[in-house]
C-alpha cells in the first residue's frame, strides 16, 4: 500500500472511527472528492487555529471534528516516523499538540506528545523532548486526581518520573559534555593564540635586531665607500702627476741614448752599443707604461656619449691608425649592424684587440676575422686571429694590468687588455678569451641588449687588406 492510498483511507475512516460523532461537512466532502494530502491537512489545522484565535467557541460537532483531525495528524506523524522522515513527522506531531491544547483534550495531547518525544529523541533535540516529558508528568498527576479515563489512569506517575529523570540526566550529561568541549576548545584556542603572539613577538625582535645590524653594516659600507673613493681620487691624482713628471727624465734618458749612439758610435764596442740600445728601449717601455697608466685611470672619469655606430666604418678607422709592416687580412661580416656605444671607447677597445693580434702574430700573413654570434638571446662581438695562441695557464691573467702573454717586446706596456677589460666593465658587459697554442685566439665581447640596435643576416663578407 503506497502513501496516497493510506492517506485516502485515513481521510475517510479515521474521523468517523475516532469520534463516532458528527464530522465536519467540509471534511466529508473533501474526503469523498479527493484524499486529503499532507499539505491540505496542515491547511485545515491552520484554519482551525485561526478560528480559535478569533475567540470563536467551537460547537460540540466541531470539537469532534477537530479530535478526528488530531488523530489524522498523529497517524500521519507516526507513518512519517516509520518512513524515516523525522522532520515532517515532528511538524505533524507539533500541529496535533497545538490543536489538542486549543480544545483542551488531554488524551489527544498525550498521544501527540508521546509521538513528538520519540521523534525529538531520534533527532537529538533533547531539550524539546525534556520539556514535553515535564508537561506529561504534570498532566498525569492532574489526570490521576480528576479524570476517570482508563487510558490516562493506566499511566503511572512513577514510570513517568523515572523516564523524566533519565531524560533529565541525559540532558544534563549532554550539557556538561558540550560545556567541557567548549572549555577544551577555548583552552586550545587560547594556547594557540599565546603561541602565535610569542612567535610574532620573537620574530619582531629578530627583525628589529636584523634591521639594526643591516643599518650598522650600511653605515660601515658608506664609510668604506667614502674612504675608497678618496683613495681612488688620490691614486688618480698620483698617476696623473707621476705620468707627467716622469716624462721629462725619461725623454732625457732617450736623448742621452741617442747622443751616445751618434757621438760615440766609433768609440763604443758592440757590448756598449747593445747596452745603450737596451737603455733606450727600457726608457721607451717606461714611457709607454706611464701613458698606459694615465689612460687606464682616465677611463670612467668623463661621461659616456653613446651614439649609433656603424661597425664597418669604425674598423676602417682603427686599421688606418695602426702602423704595421706585416701582410694583413681583416674579414668583417657585412651585416646591417648598428651598435650604441661611446665611439672613442669602442675604438680604443678594437684598436687594442686588433693591434694585439697583429703585433704578436707569428704567421707570414696575419688573418683577423670580426663577426657577430648569438647564443640564446645574447649577442657577442667575436675577434678571431691566427696568431700563436696562449697557454691555458695564462688565459686568466691576460686581462690583468702589466701582464703579457708573450714577452717578446720590451717596448710594450702590458696594459692594453687591462684597459679593454675596464672599458667593457663600464658598459656593464663581459669579455672572455679562448685560445689554442699554435692555432690562434678568439676574444668574445658579450654585449648587453642596450648596445645592440640592429643585426640582420650577412649579405657578404667584407675584406680589408
Would you state the pLDDT for residue 293? 75
Report the alpha-carbon distance of residue 118 to residue 170 in Å, rounded: 15
Exposed/middle/buried for 256, CB within 10 Å: 0-12, 13-18, 19+?
middle
Would you state the pLDDT for residue 161? 53
Listed as own residue / partner, the contacts of 128-137 with beta carbons closer than 8 Å and 24 or more positions apart are 129/167, 130/164, 130/167, 130/168, 130/171, 132/97, 133/160, 133/163, 133/164, 133/167, 133/168, 134/164, 136/110, 136/160, 136/164, 137/161, 137/164
Would you state the pLDDT for residue 140? 64
Q: What is the 8-class DSSP label of residue 392?
A: G
Report the alpha-carbon distance of residue 371 to residue 328 in Å, rounded: 17
Q: Give the pLDDT of the chain (465 residues) as one tens digit per residue.
A: 444 333 333 343 344 333 333 333 333 333 333 334 556 666 766 666 666 555 566 677 777 777 787 888 888 888 888 888 888 888 888 888 888 887 777 778 888 888 888 888 888 887 788 788 777 777 766 655 554 445 444 444 455 555 656 666 666 777 778 788 889 899 999 999 999 999 999 999 999 999 999 999 999 999 988 888 888 777 777 777 766 777 778 888 888 888 888 888 778 888 888 888 888 888 887 877 777 777 777 776 667 788 888 888 888 888 888 877 778 888 887 666 678 888 888 988 998 899 888 888 888 889 999 988 888 778 888 999 998 888 888 887 788 776 665 555 555 566 888 888 888 888 889 999 998 888 899 999 998 888 877 655 555 555 665
Beta strands, E only, 290-348: 306-310, 327-334, 338-342
Rg, the chain, Cα only: 56
Name, in order, each residue with C-beta under 8 angstroms of 306's C-beta and a sequence gap of 6 or more: 340, 341, 342
- 221 grid coordinates: 659600507
Report the alpha-carbon distance of residue 397 to residue 136 in Å, rounded: 106
Exposed/middle/buried for 223, CB within 10 Å: 0-12, 13-18, 19+?
exposed
Amino acid at each position: 500500500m503506497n502513501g496516497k492510498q493510506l492517506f485516502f483511507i485515513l481521510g475517510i475512516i479515521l474521523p468517523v472511527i475516532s469520534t463516532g460523532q458528527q464530522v465536519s461537512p467540509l471534511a466529508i466532502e473533501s474526503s469523498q472528492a479527493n484524499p486529503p494530502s499532507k499539505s491540505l491537512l496542515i491547511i485545515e489545522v491552520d484554519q482551525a487555529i485561526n478560528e480559535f484565535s478569533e475567540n470563536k467557541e467551537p460547537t460540540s460537532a466541531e470539537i469532534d471534528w477537530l479530535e478526528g483531525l488530531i488523530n489524522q495528524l498523529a497517524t500521519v506523524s507516526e507513518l512519517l516516523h516509520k518512513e524515516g522522515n523525522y522532520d515532517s513527522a515532528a511538524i505533524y506531531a507539533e500541529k496535533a499538540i497545538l490543536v489538542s491544547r486549543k480544545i483542551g483534550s488531554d488524551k489527544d495531547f498525550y498521544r501527540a506528545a508521546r509521538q513528538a518525544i520519540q521523534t525529538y529523541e531520534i533527532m537529538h533535540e533533547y531539550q524539546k523532548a525534556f520539556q514535553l516529558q515535564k508537561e506529561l508528568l504534570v498532566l498525569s498527576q492532574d489526570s490521576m486526581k480528576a479524570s476517570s479515563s482508563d487510558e490516562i489512569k493506566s499511566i503511572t506517575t512513577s514510570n513517568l518520573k523515572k523516564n523524566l529523570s533519565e531524560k533529565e540526566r541525559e540532558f544534563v550529561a549532554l550539557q556538561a559534555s558540550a560545556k567541557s568541549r567548549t572549555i577544551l576548545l577555548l583552552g586550545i584556542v587560547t594556547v594557540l593564540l599565546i603561541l602565535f603572539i610569542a612567535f610574532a613577538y620573537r620574530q619582531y625582535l629578530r627583525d628589529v635586531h636584523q634591521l639594526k645590524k643591516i643599518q650598522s653594516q650600511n653605515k660601515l659600507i658608506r664609510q668604506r665607500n667614502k674612504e675608497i673613493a678618496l683613495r681612488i681620487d688620490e691614486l688618480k691624482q698620483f698617476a696623473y702627476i707621476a705620468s707627467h713628471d716622469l716624462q721629462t727624465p725619461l725623454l732625457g734618458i732617450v736623448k742621452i741614448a741617442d747622443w751616445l749612439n751618434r757621438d760615440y758610435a766609433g768609440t763604443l764596442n758592440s757590448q756598449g752599443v747593445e747596452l745603450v740600445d737596451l737603455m733606450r728601449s727600457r726608457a721607451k717601455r717606461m714611457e709607454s707604461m706611464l701613458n698606459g697608466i694615465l689612460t687606464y685611470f682616465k677611463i670612467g672619469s668623463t661621461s659616456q656619449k653613446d651614439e649609433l655606430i656603424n661597425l664597418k666604418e669604425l674598423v676602417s678607422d682603427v686599421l688606418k691608425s695602426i702602423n704595421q709592416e706585416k701582410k694583413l687580412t681583416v674579414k668583417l661580416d657585412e651585416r646591417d649592424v648598428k651598435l650604441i656605444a661611446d665611439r672613442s671607447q669602442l675604438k680604443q677597445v678594437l684598436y687594442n684587440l686588433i693591434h694585439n693580434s697583429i703585433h704578436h702574430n707569428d704567421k707570414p700573413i696575419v688573418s683577423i676575422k670580426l663577426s657577430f654570434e648569438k647564443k640564446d638571446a645574447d649577442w657577442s662581438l667575436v675577434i678571431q686571429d691566427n696568431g700563436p695562441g696562449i697557454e691555458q695557464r695564462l688565459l686568466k691573467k691576460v686581462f690583468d694590468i702589466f701582464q703579457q702573454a708573450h714577452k717578446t717586446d720590451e717596448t710594450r706596456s702590458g696594459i692594453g687588455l687591462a684597459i679593454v677589460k675596464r672599458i667593457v666593465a663600464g658598459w656593464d658587459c663581459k669579455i672572455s678569451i679562448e685560445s689554442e697554442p699554435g692555432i690562434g685566439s678568439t676574444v668574445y665581447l658579450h654585449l648587453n641588449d642596450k648596445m645592440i640596435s640592429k643585426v640582420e643576416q650577412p649579405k657578404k663578407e667584407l675584406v680589408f687588406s
